[in-house]
Structure 1
């Protein structure tokens, strides 16, 4: 199998770091998805195997559809470190601010900050750590960790194995997106050979939709707007709507895929009014002619060329009025 090499300089420094350290914090971005959680669980398992003390931290709760992941119950939302961590390992996170308030407090309360590690595949990553391993060509952070553990000769426990598979599967859209390469499929095949129950995992990931989320899907279908001659699809989800349906922020993941799947649509935008009053904006592109990560960066967001996000502090219609015209302009330039 052709492997994506881990940079030798990073590998050497990371090996020395985990060899000499005893106490580690592992953090991914807030609103964790399958890749963020999978990477957190897998890295935590690797450090436990090496006999280290590990705290797995995330500002937000594990989404309900991912609570079946073994090890997710050990991810905590707040931490009061009695012992200063030797290193903070940040995963699947392009900007340090996206580790959330507990993570930022952990760094702030340990001055000078412990050595930090940044392992990620987002092309907009700004290399904020002392040690950075950024491979934008990889489909997911879990794929990078697969190669890292292979290089370090760290065996995969069943929980680590499943976590890596879930991260790769979800970040490739169940092996549908552009970065689903032969190498990615070979990683998945190796994980299956090691015991991944693909039927059971796929059933839990993709075939068990709660009734209230199905009702939310209906709301989206009834409220989609098509712009730019049907090449841009948009939907705005208000808190009033969520309260009426009894759904939470956990239930909204993946709704943008409904917009993205419409025939003729090239760009999709999903706006959600969150409980804290901020607006979460998800962007998707179906054409290499438009990078939504570049568009998101104009508004302080980031991500990948085909999938990116923004957060804004303004009314939802104001956020829509700011971003939607940029998408319309982008598709107008496509011949």
Structure 2
């Protein structure tokens, strides 16, 4: 039976029932590998509701995740150093087994209740749980946590409002991927803090580090461009912050962007597209990343305008980027946004 990707009343009821049931029990909140600001913030907010919760990460936090942790004093332990016997587990901000290294055996075999709360579409390697709340319409997992708090009639304090705002602002890319629901949530939360959005943004982004600036510049230095009619598809590679780099390329004029990063163990690719293309040309980088993820021996998924893939076949970097570019061209052709004549495969311009 396929898991839902847009939560409705039954999923809301199941999730809130699960949280009520676990409120006074020991609960382990598990955030994904290299946890970002949204994952850390969602876990911190949920831990405020639960009376006996521990937050753990399989490896390390991202830089924005660390800033949220430090700003709000969130205690997070490494899974390998965990000394805690929970009666329930909750995975947050991802459903992909690949993003929970070291936990994929522990979670399915856990002798207790399990849940997943996430805003990404389902990966091919999606984990299973007793309760699954997956809603890819939400801009962030923090947005989902707020909605659950509202259903639970749980009052949002100033601290929790600021934490949720940090996660929403980060994962919506400064509202680039926001919906009307997102703005309604943000308006409510802003009434509970004296901080402005600009101040919340500083919590997430901080002062851009040299590493951040270098990552962007490397992505620009290594980019390749394919033109499809009036559309520009840009692929590139950097040694860190591939998601930020992909976002930046869209802001600089790309219609689709695919940026790869090679780690010691895997190939990671972040994909973005101009949000207006989702409706006008059927753009869906989540489906592209699903296919690319399989090509590199892993999985992929996300949202129509923002997604990612990861897998162990590092040597397929160039071919994976070309595949992503080719699939983007096919989406544009299928929607009638470009003519169907010409080469099927992606071809790069001389620049």
Query: TM-score when scaled to structure 1?
Result: 0.82
Q: For residues 110 and 182 of structure 2, what CA distance do their matches in structure 1 show?
A: 39
Q: Structure 2: 5+ residue runs without aligned partners?
A: 1-7, 339-351
How is 1:102-113 mapped onto 2 (pairs within 5 angstroms)? 103-104=103-104, 106-107=106-107, 111-113=109-111
Name which of 34, 41, 44 aligns with 1:41. Answer: 44
8 Å CA contact retained: 1:42, 1:160: yes
Q: Which residue of 2 aligns with 1:9?
A: 13
The alpha-carbon distance between structure 1 residues 322 and 66, as it changes in their structure 2 partners (threshold 3 A), is closer
Aligned length: 308
* Matched residue SS, 1:123: coil
- Partners of 1:303 and 1:207 lie apart in 2 by 26
Provide the secondary structure at the position in 2 that maps to 1:254: helix
| Cα distance in 1 between the residues matched to 2:312 and 2:15 | 39
Q: Is residue 284 from structure 1 mapped to residue 272 from structure 2 by the alignment?
A: yes
Are 2:261 and 1:272 aligned?
A: yes
Shift of 1:206: 4.2
Task: Find the counterpart in structure 2 of residue 260 from structure 1.
Answer: 250
Distance 1:97 1:312 in 2: 8
Work out the CA distance in 1 between the residues paired with 2:190 and 2:127. Answer: 33
How far apart are 1:233 and its partner, in Å? Answer: 0.4
Match of 1:176 in 2: 176
Normalising by structure 2, we get a TM-score of 0.79
> Does the CA-based 8 Å contact 2:27-2:88 persist in structure 1?
yes
Residue 30 of structure 2 is matched in structure 1 by 27
Aligned-CA RMSD value: 2.6
Three-state SS of the structure 1 residue aligned to 2:27 is strand
Structure 1: runs of 5 or more not aligned: 239-248
Q: Which moved more, 1:226-235 or 1:37-46?
A: 226-235
Equivalent residue, structure 2, for 1:244: none
User: Partners in 2 of 1:60 and 1:75 — Cα distance?
Assistant: 11
- CA deviations over 1:299-333 (Å, ceiling 9, x no partner): 221111111111122335x2221342342243252
Q: Is the 8 A contact 1:41 1:72 kept in 2?
A: no
Structure 1 stretches of 4+ moved >4 Å: 79-83
Q: Give the deviation of 1:152 after TM superposition.
A: 1.4
Matched, 1:311 2:314: no
Distance, in Å, in 2 between the alignment partners of 1:15 and 1:76 is 22
